[in-house]
Amino acid sequence: SIYPLLCCEAHVNPMALKANHVRNTHNDADFGVEFYASIDILSLLFYLDCACQLTLFATEAIYNAFNISEPTNIKAYKQELDMLRKC
């Protein structure tokens, strides 16, 4: 499940705080704190991919639960997401 990972990033969690704000400055014994650390946009792709996948999965599950045929664009979105993952 992705939920624990998202919680780790979203809440005040020691692991997330260390990963996002503590930097090794010179050697293994010397650390610094970045209060306003820059964001690496590429690191967000994992979370965006998971959010897209979960949204498509949930939409598909809702349509199936109510025995409603899926709109054709859902399948197109799934194919597009799969294609983007291969890049």
> At 1, is the pLDDT very low, low, confident or very high (cuts 50, 70, 90)?
low
Residue 37 predicted with pLDDT over 80:
no
- Residue 43 pLDDT exceeds 90: no
Question: How confident is the prediction for the chain on average, in pLDDT?
Answer: 79
Which has more pLDDT, 33 or 86?
A: 86
**Higher pLDDT, residue 63 or 37:** 63
pLDDT at 66: 94
Q: Which residues pair with 31 in a beta bridge?
A: 24
CA separation, residue 2 to residues 15, 28, 60, 79 (Å) = 16, 31, 19, 22
Q: Tokens representing 34?
A: 């970045």
Cα distance between residue 37 and residue 39, in whole Å:
6
Query: Which residues on neighbouring strands pair with residue 23, listed in sequence order?
Result: 32
